[in-house]
């Protein structure tokens, strides 16, 4: 049984995490600051920075992107413009979230299926097309006696190997962001030396669920929850949605 002191400590940690999240999304290169994502035609040369910056103040940040074009398979060059005076940043009020709930800290396991496995993920701005992402294993846990197996893809976040869970649940659209939410976990296989077929205990803390970047800027292209990651019950934990000033919408 979890002690009251432990719960109070976790609640304090949760509030500190929430404050850190606000600082992250409002930072100079936070999701709220993104005002433009541009992609050149497949195979074309990247746009010159001077051209891309035209019409933006000197304080704007410029970053480059690369991806594979879905239709041709050719490399595609892109760039982003970030501005602290973006309309979204100026209208931002808060990230609404649920109160901390220890019931949503669930002990499960990570099963390494195949280090080279990929799974198709639809993205919000790809008109139904899918991009394959590396999903080396599954997160497996029980809720009310039923086992769930979710695909979390391999990524790097904050310089550390992570599992990124893109999930949906019955709160989406009514209480939380409509396109689903994200959850980042330390990648257990990165340090455990697992081989295919092995599993390792992992804690899935839905209190750390976040609104994806596309909830802060319409210039983001976020992955959507695949069918196996759409939970048939409400997960009332973590971030719910972004609150902007009245009259503003992305």
Tell me the average confidence (pLDDT) per consecutive run of 10 residues in the chain, 250 residues long. 75 96 97 98 97 97 95 95 98 98 96 83 89 90 97 85 94 98 87 80 97 97 94 98 96
Give the model's pLDDT for residue 115.
72
**What is the C-alpha separation between 195 and 98, in angstroms, rounded?**
37
User: Other C-beta atoms within 10 Å of 169: how many?
Assistant: 21
Separation in Å, CA 244 to CA 30, 51, 123: 16, 31, 24
Cα 91–chain centre separation: 22
Cα pseudo-dihedral 227, 103, 214, 91, rounded to 10: 150
Separation in Å, CA 141 to CA 152, 178, 187, 232: 13, 24, 16, 14
H-helix or E-strand spanning residue 15 = helix 4-25
Give the model's pLDDT for residue 191.
66
Q: What is the largest CA-CA distance in the chain?
A: 61
Up-side HSE of residue 193: CA atoms within 13 Å toward CB? Answer: 0
Q: Tokens for 124?
A: 């919000």
Q: How far apart are the first and last CA of the chain?
A: 44
Q: Tokens for 146?
A: 């039923």
Give the model's pLDDT for residue 183.
97
Give the model's pLDDT for residue 118.
84
Q: Strand 199-205: give its sheet, edge to edge.
A: 181-186, 160-167, 146-157, 137-143, 105-112, 199-205
Domain ranges of the chain: 31-83, 93-244
């Amino acid at each position: 049984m979890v002690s009251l002191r432990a719960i109070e400590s976790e609640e304090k940690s949760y509030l500190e995490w929430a404050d850190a999240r606000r600082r992250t999304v409002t930072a100079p290169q936070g999701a709220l600051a993104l005002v433009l994502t541009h992609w050149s035609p497949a195979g074309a040369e990247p746009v010159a920075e001077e051209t891309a910056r035209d019409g933006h103040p000197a304080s704007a940040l410029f970053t480059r992107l690369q991806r594979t074009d879905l239709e041709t398979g050719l490399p595609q060059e892109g760039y982003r413009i970030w501005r602290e005076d973006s309309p979204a940043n100026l209208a931002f009020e808060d990230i609404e979230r649920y109160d901390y709930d220890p019931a949503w800290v669930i002990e499960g396991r990570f099963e390494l299926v195949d280090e080279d496995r990929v799974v198709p993920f639809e993205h919000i701005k790809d008109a139904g097309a899918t991009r394959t992402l590396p999903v080396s294993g599954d997160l497996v846990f029980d809720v009310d006696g039923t086992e769930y197996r979710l695909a979390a893809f391999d990524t790097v976040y904050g310089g550390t190997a992570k599992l990124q869970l893109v999930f949906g649940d019955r709160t989406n659209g009514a209480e939380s962001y409509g396109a689903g939410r994200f959850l980042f976990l330390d990648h257990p296989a990165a340090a455990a030396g697992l081989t295919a077929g092995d599993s390792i205990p992992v804690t899935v803390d839905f209190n750390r669920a976040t609104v994806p970047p596309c909830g802060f800027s319409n210039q983001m292209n976020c992955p959507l929850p695949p069918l196996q990651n759409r939970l048939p019950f409400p997960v009332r934990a973590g971030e719910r949605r972004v609150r902007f000033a009245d009259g503003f919408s992305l």
